[in-house]
């Protein structure tokens, strides 16, 4: 229903990603709420010890790709 309000079109789970809309949203929220060592020790941020930055960038790319598809 939210997709229909925002984009004016109904989307299925497969339109978002092969894993589905709900799974990608849950994954993104999980990564975003995970305590990140980089926040507490900024000097170690370039190491990305937990890999959270890499995972968040991958999820962000999925969101961006969906936004690009929905605009066209």
The domain ranges of the chain are 13-71
Give residue 28's pLDDT band: very low, low, confident or very high (50, 70, 90).
Answer: confident
**pLDDT of the residue at 24:** 82
Asked if residue 37 lies in contact with residue 44, where contact means CB atoms within 8 angstroms, the answer is yes
Name the average pLDDT for the chain. 81
Buried b (16+ CB within 10 A) or exposed e, 32-53: eeeebebeeeeeeeeeeeeebb
Q: Say what the pTM is.
A: 0.71
């Amino acid at each position: 229903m939210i997709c229909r309000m925002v984009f004016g079109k109904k989307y299925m789970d497969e339109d978002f990603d092969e894993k589905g809309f709900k799974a990608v949203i849950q994954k993104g929220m999980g990564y975003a709420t995970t305590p990140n060592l980089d926040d507490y020790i900024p000097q170690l941020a370039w190491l990305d010890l937990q890999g959270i930055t890499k995972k968040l960038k991958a999820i962000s790319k999925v969101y961006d790709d969906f936004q690009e598809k929905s605009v066209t």
